[in-house]
Amino acid sequence: MEHVTEPSELKGDVILDVRDLPCPVPVLKARLEVKRMRPGEVLLVLATDAGTRRDFPVFAEQTGHKLQAVYEQAGIYCFQLKVCGGR
Q: CA-to-CA distance for 77 and 45, rounded, in angstroms?
A: 8
- Helix, coil or strand: residue 19: coil
**Spatial CA neighbour of 40 closest among 1, 4, 13, 10:** 13
Catalytic status, residue 84 = no
How far is residue 57 from each of residues 60, 65, 68, measured CA to CA in Å?
A: 5, 10, 10
Q: Which of 4, 21, 23, 37 is catalytic?
A: 23
Which residues have a catalytic role annotated?
23
